[in-house]
Amino acid sequence: MSKKVINVMAEYCATPLWHGNGMNYSRAEIEQLDLPYWLKKQLYEWGREYEKNDAYLEMPKNNFDLVTFNSNGFALANKVKFYLPDYKVLYFDEVLVDYKLIE
């Protein structure tokens, strides 16, 4: 039996957890996952922080620190893996623009 997959990935106007294999995915309902309240709160806050990333604009106004944001997201992904050991957890690295398997 294959493991359930959860992706930790920031996206505009969305929660940062997704079901799927990195190619086909759908938004995960954080509240339905067996995670502690404090971790759910940190995930929501991290996702909202991504809304400040305006690097996609031709003339960005923010100096969004993508390296720190990415480091914080990777730490959160490791916490998700700790609390969901039966899941395969992937983290989308915004700096490398690629997925990392959390083991």
Confidence at 80, pLDDT banded by 50, 70, 90: very high
Cα 36 to Cα 70: distance, rounded to the nearest angstrom: 22
Cα 59 to Cα 17: distance, rounded to the nearest angstrom: 29
| Domains: count for the chain | 1
Q: What is the pLDDT of residues 26-46, one digit of tens each?
A: 888 899 999 999 999 999 999
58 in Cβ contact with 11 (< 8 Å): no
Q: What share of the chain is helix, strand, coil (3-state, %, to 5)?
A: 35, 25, 45
> Tokens standing for 53?
């990333």
Q: Which pLDDT belongs to residue 27?
A: 83
Q: Note down the domain range covering 84.
A: 4-102
**pTM for the whole structure:** 0.86
